[in-house]
Amino acid sequence: MNIETFLQEYGLQPELISLVKGTILVALTVIVGWIAHVATKKGLARLVKKITGKTSTTWDDLLFDRRFFNRFSVLVIPVAIYILAHVIGWTPGATVSRLLDAWIALSTVFVVTALLDGANRVYESYPLSKDKPIKIFIQIINIFLYCTVIIALIGIFTGKDVAALLAGMAAFAAVLMLVFKDSILGLVAGIQLSANNMVRIGDWIVMPACGADGEVLEINLATVKVQNWDMTITTIPTYRLVSDSFTNWRGMQESNGRRIKRSVNIDVRSVHHLDDKEVELLRQSTFLKEYIEKKLADLAEFNASRDNPLDARRLTNIGTFREYMESWLARNPDINLDMTHMVRQLQPGPTGIPLEIYCFSARQQWIEYERVQADIFDHLYAVMDLFNLEAFQYPGNIVPIDNG
């Protein structure tokens, strides 16, 4: 027995029957939809959370979050209305049917995108996600789903065939490409970044053109987020990482050393041959004893047949100092001796002779690295005076020229 037959038994007029019937159907629809919504959002959500909370894995907790159940509960409402209509023998009108169909289509997309986001969270819980993030591909699928549901909604409300709508929309391809230009460029760039392993989450990158110098937090379809060392966030268009140049410090972080490459400028006027007194003083150093004795023997043999002082070879303070620093670095536990290490003399200039320390610190963390580097040059400046060498610096009494 349907509602109309039930009301006719009480002798109600047809106009009143129609009004009461409509009111009852609306009330039933609202009540059933609300019950289904609440039961799904709270009852089902709590049940699933309770079940997943007892499992030893975490992926189910990440997959089914509060956002998923909020969206799923919205999808349940039109489905419950259709079931109610079938049970009570009510056929919704054309307008109501279109609204319900549109509701189902849109809610379905929301539920699917929530599941995809959950799948991405599950994937990001594994270490592999830092090397191969999939968020870009999740966003591409989301864009495709939203475009599909927009076309479906147009077809529902206009009554047109979806295939015909797609054929008609081909004329707007250029406009769509313009609207989604950044997304298309980001898609291509994302594939290149992933395929070539150019950037990972957690990498330290430097991109002066975009003001980025810090750690990569997120890589998505449109942007790459970098947290700079001053804790600010720089957002870079994904395609810029392919079209522009940037520095990725991952190679240094994965290696066993971090490069130290710094020079001290020696005043040319302090460079001289070592006299006997200086030689004896420096000979007492553990770092120089073997070097000086061997060098003196080689020089004595070379100078044996040369009477002119201009033809003879002698030890210099800068050469001995360079040998001392090389020996000192070789005994420094903070230096990685398996990598290149040397002290070299560069091209002299107006500010003296650059003496460069080139080596790799065994300590790669920023603070420790700076400490190792500072210790090297603290020692260098402190012992320089024992070799009677002076670092170049401009005299303090120079008065700037006023061009005004």
**Closest Cα partner for 132 from 191, 181, 53?**
191
Give the whole-angstrom CA distance, residue 162 versus residue 153. 9
260, containing H or E segment: strand 258-266
Instruction: Write down all domains in the chain, each with its CATH number in brackets.
Output: 3-193 (no CATH), 197-253 (2.30.30.60), 258-387 (no CATH)
- Residue 400: the pLDDT is 55
Beta bridge partners of 387: none
Q: Are 145 and 112 in contact (CB under 8 A)?
A: yes
Q: Are 242 and 136 in contact (CB under 8 A)?
A: no
Which has the minimum average pLDDT: 72-76, 177-181, 345-349, 365-369? 177-181
Which has the minimum average pLDDT: 56-65, 146-155, 211-220, 354-363? 56-65
Residues of the chain with pLDDT > 90, as a percent, come to 29
Q: Is the pLDDT reported for residue 6 higher than 90?
A: no
How far apart, in Å, are the Cα atoms of 308 and each of 48, 298, 312? 97, 17, 7
User: In the chain, what are the helix, strand and coil shares in percent, each to the nearest 5?
Assistant: 60, 15, 25
Which has the minimum average pLDDT: 22-26, 84-88, 135-139, 158-162? 22-26
Q: 280 or 254: which carries more pLDDT confidence?
A: 280
Neighbours of 227 (CB within 10 A): 15
* Mean pLDDT (the chain, rounded): 79
Give the whole-angstrom CA distance, residue 403 versus residue 380. 38
Residue 373 pLDDT level (bands cut at 50, 70, 90):
very high
Structure confidence by residue, pLDDT tens digits, 282-336: 999 999 999 999 998 988 888 887 777 787 888 999 999 999 999 999 999 999 9
Q: Is the pLDDT reported for residue 261 higher than 90?
A: yes
Q: Is the pLDDT reported for residue 3 higher than 70?
A: no
Phi-psi category of residue 388: left, alpha or beta, with phi > 0 → left and psi -120 to 50 → alpha:
left
Which has the minimum average pLDDT: 44-53, 125-134, 137-146, 188-197? 44-53
224, containing H or E segment: strand 223-228
Of 48-62, 74-88, 173-187, give the range with the top mean pLDDT. 74-88
Q: What is the mean pLDDT of residues 119-134?
A: 75
**Closest Cα partner for 328 from 395, 382, 274?**
382
| Alpha carbons within 13 A on the beta-carbon side of 340 | 7
Strands 247-248, 258-266: parallel, antiparallel or unpaired by DSSP?
unpaired
Q: What is the mean pLDDT of residues 86-106?
A: 76
Q: Is the pLDDT reported for residue 206 higher than 90?
A: yes
Residue 16 pLDDT level (bands cut at 50, 70, 90):
low
- Residue 173: the pLDDT is 60
- Collapsing DSSP to helix, strand or coil, 253 comes out as helix
Which has the minimum average pLDDT: 184-193, 346-355, 363-372? 184-193
Q: Are 109 and 141 in contact (CB under 8 A)?
A: no
Residues of the chain with pLDDT > 70, as a percent, come to 74
- Residue 1: the pLDDT is 45
Q: What is the mean pLDDT of residues 151-165?
A: 73
